[in-house]
Amino acid sequence: MAHEARFPSPADAPFAFDVTVAEDGRTMAVTGPDASGAVVTESFAVRERTHNGYLDFHAAVSARFRTRMPRNRRPAEIPSFTAPYQPLLTENLSPRVLHGYGDPAVIRVAGEDGPWYWLVATSNDAPDSFPVARSRDLRDWELTGFVFPAGHKPAWASDGAGMSDYWAPEMHEVGGEYRVYFAAREKDGLDLAIGVATAPTPHGPFTTPDQPLLRGGVIDAHVLVEDGDAWLFWKEDTNGVWPRLLHKLLFEHGRLIAELFPADEDQRTASLIAALWPWVRTREPMENFFVHQPLVEAVTGRFSEVRARLAELHARETENDVRDAIDAVLHAMRTPIWAQRLTADGLGLEGERTLVLENDQEWEAHLIEGVWVASCGGKYYLFYAGNDFSTSRYGIGAAVADAPLGPYRKLPGPLLRSTAEWWGPGHPSVAQGPDGGPWLFLHAFFPGRTGYNEFRALLTVPLVMNGDHVGIRAAE
């Protein structure tokens, strides 16, 4: 390979790999021990810098070197869970909608000619950001436009395929105008930030300030409006931070790999990926995620054990720099959900932020995200997603509180999980359904087709919210 770079595993890693990467990053030659222990060399193509491209690369490396096979490349495990999911949108409404309806926010807006359901959804790096659609009956939908059509992105946000991530928009009617809160990456530094756009109607035209509302690796804005007050809820995107921190730690201190990962396949995975740190650190954020996927799965497959082992290593470590690095990883493995009061114009925050929720149940693994709060009968019901969005382990949880900011009491396990028909249900929103009761709206993948930029359908299930009880009911 011309203009190539060579990256060996740390000298104290349990397995010695050597990776030579072509200048364009599309070909990697791996030298290391195969299943028999013999040292062999084989070249692998990264056919495209996408999630599926890297999953195929990792699968090929696994077949040769017995590293961890990505979950999305293993034989499908048919879920036994059942739920009365009702599909509402199962194909793109327009060629300009590229990836379906991830992170769907549905609201019901009354009007003189009857109510409309309005939907906004994630668009990832598509040229047209945040499709806006409406329906009378949740069955027949029409695309009315985009919050940010091509060429009209916010001045502060990055744009372009593989560079921009327009995620998790949410529309609300406040004070006679429509506000969309959303996440995007800033041009400077590519950190995730939360912005707001306003319009006189649900279909625009939307305008947005020159600066984001909230900076610093934040995402999944939700707004609860009640009795003239409004609170912004958001996720601190630490699950996008700890894989890089852990990767750097293992590159600099390969001796920790065997301490953290008892399984041979995970030691091989960590030894190989650790070698790539000098190269991976130069890649864009989403490509970072694609490269890290097997390492992330090695951790999240036994998340509580890994965190406990890291804590033990931190307690007995004598080198201060290693202790500090482990501490940073441990801190980032908690995904906090925060809330803070919005100013009257909805363009700023006031008062102190409040910690509302964290990932602390086994099924949630390394993250919770995508919250939505609904009030009913004097109670507040918080719905959220947990685990890895790109796999069938993603699901929806719920918690109940007596006040908007909690404290919230979680259900002991997920409310909704993957079924044989729909995988990775997530990022819920709540609106009044056609039968007058509350309905939960969510996205999900077709079976076996999970991952970044894969199509996500819009589904719904009717809810029951009664005191501390949260459940799914049959549609009337």
pLDDT in tens, 263-283: 999 999 999 999 999 999 999
Minimal CA–CA distance to 168: which of 6, 8, 369? 369
| Domains of the chain with CATH codes | 5-75+240-332 (no CATH), 86-237+335-472 (2.115.10.20)
Minimal CA–CA distance to 445: which of 398, 383, 395, 397? 395
pLDDT of 475 > 70? The answer is: no
Is 36 buried (19+), middle (13-18) or exposed (0-12) by CB count in 10 A?
exposed
For residue 407, say if its preceding peptide bond is cis, omega within 30 degrees of 0: yes
Q: What's the pLDDT tens digit per position in 363-389?
A: 999 999 999 999 999 999 999 999 999
C-alpha 431/C-alpha 173 separation (Å) is 13
Q: Tell the residue number behind the tokens 């930029």, with chain if given.
A: 453
Q: What's the pLDDT tens digit per position in 385-444?
A: 999 999 999 999 999 999 999 999 999 999 999 999 999 999 999 999 999 999 999 999
C-alpha 123/C-alpha 470 separation (Å) is 30
Lowest model confidence (mean pLDDT) among 97-101, 163-167, 191-195, 358-362? 163-167
- The answer to whether 414 and 363 are in contact (CB under 8 A) is yes
pLDDT value of position 161: 80
pLDDT value of position 327: 97
pLDDT of 5 > 90? The answer is: yes
Strand partners, 109: 116
pLDDT value of position 1: 44
pLDDT value of position 226: 85
- The answer to whether 65 and 272 are in contact (CB under 8 A) is yes
- Bigger pLDDT: 3 or 449? 449
- The answer to whether 197 and 203 are in contact (CB under 8 A) is no
The 8-class DSSP code of residue 70 comes to P
Q: Tell the residue number behind the tokens 């006189």, with chain if given.
A: 200
Residue 354 CA to its chain's centroid (Å): 22
pLDDT value of position 174: 85
pLDDT value of position 13: 98
H/E element holding 249?
A: helix 242-252
pLDDT of 160 > 90? The answer is: no
- The answer to whether 111 and 94 are in contact (CB under 8 A) is no
Minimal CA–CA distance to 166: which of 174, 156, 158, 155? 158
Average pLDDT for residues 317-341, to the nearest whole number? 97
Average pLDDT for residues 151-167, to the nearest whole number? 90
pLDDT of 74 > 80? The answer is: yes
C-alpha 7/C-alpha 273 separation (Å) is 10
Q: What is the mean pLDDT of the chain?
A: 95
Instruction: Say what the pTM is.
Output: 0.95
Average pLDDT for residues 327-332, to the nearest whole number? 98
pLDDT value of position 155: 94
pLDDT value of position 321: 96
pLDDT of 8 > 90? The answer is: yes
pLDDT of 210 > 70? The answer is: yes
- The answer to whether 430 and 463 are in contact (CB under 8 A) is yes
pLDDT value of position 113: 86
- Report residue 229's pLDDT band, with 50, 70 and 90 as the boundaries: confident
